[in-house]
Structure 1
C-alpha cells in the first residue's frame, strides 16, 4: 500500500475510533448514581448538560466532516496535510473530555455517603449568599470538596479550558472544614468573587482607590489596597453575610508559620495575612459595631506580635493599619453603578446580621428550633458562628446541628423542585429539558 494511501486508511480508522469513543460519553443524568437529595438543582444540571451536549455535537460534526473530506477532496492531500488536520481534531476531542472531567469531579462526589447530601446543602447556602435579585440574575452554583485549607471558584460566564463559557459557578471548598461554621467563611468568600463580578465591583472600587492614592501623602498603603481589592471585596461579602463567622474562619485559613504571616508580596492578590485579619475585624466593626471585633484583633496580635519584625516591615504594616479606618469607609460607602445609588451594606441588608441580633435569634431558636428551619441558610451560619464565638454552643453540637441543617436544605430543595416539576405543564418541562 502506497504511503499516502496507508496514511489515508490509518487516519480514517483513527477518526472513526474518535466517533466510537465519543458515542460512549453519556450525559451525567444517565451515569451518576446518587440519592435524589444529593443531586444538583435542575438549573445547574440543565446548564451543564446543555453545555457538554453542545460540545459533543460540535465535535461529532467536526469528526464527520473530516471523514467526509477524507473520502473526497482529501484523497488528493499529502500524508502531512491529513495528519495535520487530524491532530487538531484530536486536540479538540481532548478539550471536550477535559471539560467533562471538570464537572465529573464535582458530580461524582454526590454519590459519597452523607457528603453528597451535604454538598447539595452547600449549593443552597451558596445560592442564598449570592442572591441579590434586585440587581442581577445569579447563575447556578455547585460545590465540591478537595484537600487543602483554601477554597477557590471557577466563576460562571468565564472561559473554560478548550473554549466555551462556563455555564455554572463551581466552588471548591476544603474537605477539612466539613462540617463546621468555618466552611461558610470559605464558601461565601468564593461566592463574593462571583457577586463582585456580577456587580462589576472590583473595577469600580479600583477607580476609587486610585483617586485616594493620588491624594495621599504616602501612597504606598493605598497602592497595596488597590492591588488586593479583589480578595478584599470577597472578604467584605463574606462578613456582610455571616458576620464574625467569616473572621473566625479566615483566622483558621491564614494561621501559618510566622514567616508567612508577615510576608508582603505585591504580586500576590491576597493581602498579607497579618493585615488581612486586622482588616476583617475593622470591616466587621464598621458594619456591626461591637466589642468582639477589638477583642478578636487583640487575640490576633497576641498570636503574631510584630515587635520582633525588622523596621521596614513593621513601618509598612503600621502605615497599612493606620489607613484602615479610611479604607474601610471607602468600602462601606462606595456606590457602584450596578447598585443604582446604594452602597453594598445597604443592598445586602447587613442590619439583620448585627451580633446582638444574632445572639437573640440563637436564644429564640434554642427554645423554638423549628424557627431555624425557616430561616435563610446564610443567616443560620451567621447565628451559629456568633453563638460559637459567644460560647453558647460547643464545636461538637455546632457540627451536629449544621450537618442536620445541610441535610434539611438539600432535602427541602429537592422536594420543592419535585413539587414544582409535578405542577409544571408538560410543554414547559419539554422546553426546560431541550
Structure 2
C-alpha cells in the first residue's frame, strides 16, 4: 500500500478488529467456573446476548476493512472507523458490566449465596407477575461496594444498542449481604416496570396529596417509582426491609430532609416514616413504633428552617392515607385489584412469621417444600431480628447464608 494515510487507517482498523476478536473470549472477563455458577437458562441468554453484539461489531469491522482495501473514499472510511471505535467502547462497557457481575461467583461460597439470592429475586417478581400472566425475567445478583442497592432492569436497551437486557441485574451491597432485603425493593422495580404500576401510583399519590396543595401533589407523584418499590418490598417481606432501609438512608438531619430536584427518591425522613406507617396500617403496634420514635427524636423537622422541613411537616398527616392508597386501592396494573390481593402482607406479619417458625421447627432451613413455596416468608423469618451484638449478628448471617446456599440447586460442572 503506497498511500501513507490509507496505510495508517489500515493499521488502526487492525487494532480495533483485534480488540473485537479478543472481546469475544468471554472467559477473559469472567472465569469459566464463574459462568458455570449461573443457572443454565440465564447463562445461555446472557452469553447469547453479549456474543450477538460482538458478532455484529466484528461484521462491521470486516465490512470496513473491505471498503478500505477496495479504495473507497478515505474520509468516509475514517469516519466509519471512528463510529466503529465508539461502538466498540459501548459493547465493551456492556461486556465488562456483566463480566464483572458474573466474576463475583468465582468463590464457591459467595457464588452459592448469590445463586440463592437469584432465586429470591425471581420468586419476588413471580409473586406479582405470574397471577397477571406476565413472564418473569431471570435475575443476576452481584455484590458491590457502597451503601445502596440498584438494578439494571431486564428489557431495557443497553449501552451497546444491540438489543435489550436479557436479565434483571441486581446489585446488593456487601455490607447488606447479611440483611439482603433490598433485593425485594430492586425486584419490585422490575415488577413495577413490567406492570406499569408506577404511572398509576403517581396519580394516586397526587390525588391524596392534592387535597392539601398542588406543590405536594407534584412532589409525591414524582416519587412514585421509589415508593412503589418500597411498598413492594413491604408487601412481600413485612417489617424486615424497614430497619435495613433506615440503616442505609440515615444521615444528618439536614440530609434526611433534603429534597433533590429530579431525584425519584423521597427524602429519607418521609421514606422511613411511610414504611413505618405501612407496618402500622397492616400490623398495628410493633417494633416499628420504636424506629419511628427514634427518627422523630433524631430528626424532628421542627429543628430545621426552610421548604424541606415544611414539606415533611405537611406530609406527615397524609401518611396513613398514602399507605392505604398504595396497598388497598385497586389498580389497572393489577387487573383491577389492590396489590394486597397479589401479595397479602398479613402473611408476613410478625405473628404469621412466628407461627411459620414454630410449625417448621428445625425444618425451616432444610425443607425443600418451604424453600420452593415459602422462600420469601422464610427470608422474612431469618431477617426479622435485629441483633445488638456483633457475635450474634455473625451467627444470624451464617444461618441465613447457609439457607441461601441450599435454596438454589448446586450446578453441575460444565463448560462455559
What TM-score does the superposition give when structure 1 sets the normalisation length?
0.85
State which of 269, 277, 286 in structure 2 corresponds to 1:282. 277
1:271-296 Cα distance to aligned partner (Å, 9 max, x none): 11111111001112223334333333
Is residue 2:115 matched to residue 1:117? no
Conservation of the 8 A alpha-carbon contact between 2:120 and 2:376: yes
1:328-347 Cα distance to aligned partner (Å, 9 max, x none): 22111333323212111111
The residue that corresponds to 1:188 in the other structure is 184
The residue that corresponds to 1:168 in the other structure is 167
Number of residue pairs the alignment of both structures matches: 407
The residue that corresponds to 2:199 in the other structure is 203
The residue that corresponds to 2:83 in the other structure is 88
Conservation of the 8 A alpha-carbon contact between 1:245 and 1:386: yes
The residue that corresponds to 1:428 in the other structure is none
Would the alpha carbon gap of residues 29 and 310 (structure 1) be closer, same or farther in structure 2, given more than 3 Å must change? Answer: same
Structure 1 CA distance for aligned equivalents of residues 316 and 401 of structure 2: 38
Would the alpha carbon gap of residues 41 and 29 (structure 1) be closer, same or farther in structure 2, given more than 3 Å must change? Answer: farther
Would the alpha carbon gap of residues 169 and 76 (structure 1) be closer, same or farther in structure 2, given more than 3 Å must change? Answer: closer
The residue that corresponds to 1:47 in the other structure is 45
Aligned 1:51-66 pairs, distance under 5 A: 51-66=49-64
Structure 2 CA distance for aligned equivalents of residues 58 and 98 of structure 1: 15
Aligned 1:207-246 pairs, distance under 5 A: 207-214=203-210, 216-246=211-241
Would the alpha carbon gap of residues 93 and 291 (structure 1) be closer, same or farther in structure 2, given more than 3 Å must change? Answer: closer
State which of 133, 138, 152 in structure 1 corresponds to 2:130. 133
Displacement after TM superposition at 1:369 (Å): 3.9
Is residue 2:358 matched to residue 1:363? yes
1:382-428 Cα distance to aligned partner (Å, 9 max, x none): 1122344899x942321110110121123x2637xx9xx9xxxxxxx
The list of structure 1 runs, each at least 4 consecutive aligned residues, that deviate by more than 6 angstroms after superposition, is none
Conservation of the 8 A alpha-carbon contact between 2:116 and 2:407: yes
Higher mean C-alpha deviation, range 10-19 or range 354-363: 10-19
Aligned to 1:133, what secondary structure does the other structure show? helix
Structure 1 CA distance for aligned equivalents of residues 335 and 187 of structure 2: 21
Structure 1 CA distance for aligned equivalents of residues 84 and 26 of structure 2: 24
State which of 395, 399, 403 in structure 2 corresponds to 1:401. 399
Would the alpha carbon gap of residues 84 and 313 (structure 1) be closer, same or farther in structure 2, given more than 3 Å must change? Answer: closer
Displacement after TM superposition at 1:51 (Å): 0.9
Structure 1 CA distance for aligned equivalents of residues 323 and 76 of structure 2: 61
Gapped runs of 5+ residues in structure 1? 422-432
1:77-102 Cα distance to aligned partner (Å, 9 max, x none): 1x333321211112212222111111
Conservation of the 8 A alpha-carbon contact between 2:235 and 2:343: yes
Gapped runs of 5+ residues in structure 2? none
Structure 2 CA distance for aligned equivalents of residues 104 and 172 of structure 1: 14
Structure 1 CA distance for aligned equivalents of residues 224 and 357 of structure 2: 33
Conservation of the 8 A alpha-carbon contact between 1:38 and 1:120: no
Structure 2 CA distance for aligned equivalents of residues 107 and 274 of structure 1: 35
Conservation of the 8 A alpha-carbon contact between 2:113 and 2:405: yes
Structure 2 CA distance for aligned equivalents of residues 249 and 8 of structure 1: 60
Is residue 2:269 matched to residue 1:270? no
Displacement after TM superposition at 1:225 (Å): 1.4
Conservation of the 8 A alpha-carbon contact between 1:359 and 1:387: no
Would the alpha carbon gap of residues 197 and 311 (structure 1) be closer, same or farther in structure 2, given more than 3 Å must change? Answer: closer
Structure 2 CA distance for aligned equivalents of residues 62 and 370 of structure 1: 52
Would the alpha carbon gap of residues 363 and 34 (structure 1) be closer, same or farther in structure 2, given more than 3 Å must change? Answer: farther
Aligned to 1:24, what secondary structure does the other structure show? helix
Conservation of the 8 A alpha-carbon contact between 1:388 and 1:394: no
Structure 2 CA distance for aligned equivalents of residues 332 and 165 of structure 1: 31
State which of 13, 16, 21 in structure 2 corresponds to 1:15. 13
The residue that corresponds to 1:322 in the other structure is 317
The residue that corresponds to 2:305 in the other structure is 310
Is residue 2:327 matched to residue 1:332? yes
Aligned to 1:145, what secondary structure does the other structure show? strand
Aligned 1:370-385 pairs, distance under 5 A: 373-375=368-370, 376-385=374-383
Conservation of the 8 A alpha-carbon contact between 2:150 and 2:186: yes
Structure 2 CA distance for aligned equivalents of residues 264 and 345 of structure 1: 30
Aligned to 2:122, what secondary structure does the other structure show? helix
What TM-score does the superposition give when structure 2 sets the normalisation length?
0.89
